[in-house]
Amino acid sequence: MLLTSAILLLLDHALASPVDVLEKRQCPSIHIFGARETTAPPGYGSSDTVVNGVIAAHPGATSEAINYPACGGQASCGGDSYSQSVAAGVAAAVSAVNSYASQCPSTQLVLVGYSQGSEIFDVALCGGGDPNQGLANSGVEFSAAAVANIKAAIFMGDPLYHTGLPYNVGTCAAGGFDARPAGFTCPNAAKIKSYCDSTDPYCCNGSNAATHQGYGAEYGSQAIAFVNSKLSATSGGGGTGTPTTSSTSTPTGGSGGGGGTVAKYVNPAPLV
C-alpha cells in the first residue's frame, strides 16, 4: 500500500508540466509596490529606502515600481499636469495591485509611496477620491481581494496628509497642499503609517523643501519595522498563479538594501 502511494505521488510529479512548476515558483510570499515622487525618473524614487529594507529583511521578496508620469507640469517628466499625473497614477496602481492579487492570491503585498506616489496609493487604499485633482470616485479603488492581501502601506510626504488621523507620524499639525477634509477616515487605517514633519511645504504648511527629501533617512528604519510587524514569517511560494513579467522584478542598479537601488531623489519643482 505504501509502495503504491509512493509510486502514484512520483507519477503525479512527473506528469506536472514545467509550466505548472514554474507558476508555483513565481508567486513569492511578499511583493512590494513602490511609487516615486514628482519628477523622479522611472523607478522607485525615494521610496527605495523602504522597498530595499523590506527586501533585505525577507529574502525571496520581490518588488516593482508603479509606472506613471510622476509629473507636475515639468518638461522633464513629459509635461503632464499634477492632476493628470495623479489620475494616471491611481489607475496604474489599481491595475497593477489588483492584477497581482488576482494572479497571486496568497502573496502578502506592501505599498510604499513617496510624495505624489503616496497620494496615488492613499486614494486607492483609503477612498474618498481626490476632488482637487478631479477624481470623484469616493470608494476604495483596490479590489476586496487586493485590500485583504495588502498588509502594510507606507506614505512619506503625502500631500493628502491631514492632522489627527490615527496613522500619522511626525510633527505636522496641519495638512498638505491637497489635504483630506476634516473628519475624513480611512477604512484601512490599521495598515498605514504616514510620515510628515511640520517644516515640509508639501505634506504640511512649512517652508523648508529639504524636509520633504529626508523621510527615508529620518523614518526609514521605523517604517521598515512597521512593515515587518505586519508580515507573517512564512517563506516560500505565495500561490499558484503567474504574475506579470514586471511583478517579479527587483530593483536594479546600485548596491545595498538587498535588492539594489534605483532612481535617487531629484529635487522636484514645487508641486502645483
Phi, psi of 130, rounded to the nearest 5 degrees: -150, 70
- Catalytic residue among 48, 197, 212, 247, which? 212
Q: Please, which residues have CB within 8 angstroms of residue 201's CB and are 6 or more apart in sequence?
A: 177, 207, 208, 209, 211, 212, 270
Rg (CA), the chain: 20
Q: Bridge-partner residues for 114, per DSSP?
A: 156
> Could you tell me the end-to-end alpha-carbon distance of the chain, in angstroms, rounded to an integer?
73
Distance CA 213, CA 157 (A): 9
Catalytic annotation, pick one of 47, 115, 118, 247: 115
Say if residues 203 and 122 touch (Cβ distance below 8 Å).
Answer: no
Query: CB of 107 within 8 A of CB of 63?
Result: no
| Nearest one of 244, 265, 268, 262 to 52, comparing CA atoms | 262
- Count other Cβ atoms within 10 Å, centred on residue 148: 12
Q: Which three cell numbers stand for residue 219?
A: 523614518
Beta-strand relationship, 108-114 and 150-156: parallel
Provide the grid cell at 41: 525618473
> Is 247 a catalytic site residue?
no
Catalytic site includes residue 130: no
Residue 112 CB-half CA count within 13 A? 30
122 catalytic, yes or no?
Answer: no
| Cα torsion through 64, 65, 66, 68, rounded to 10 | -150
Is 159 buried (19+), middle (13-18) or exposed (0-12) by CB count in 10 A?
Answer: buried
User: Which of the residues are catalytic?
Assistant: 115, 200, 212
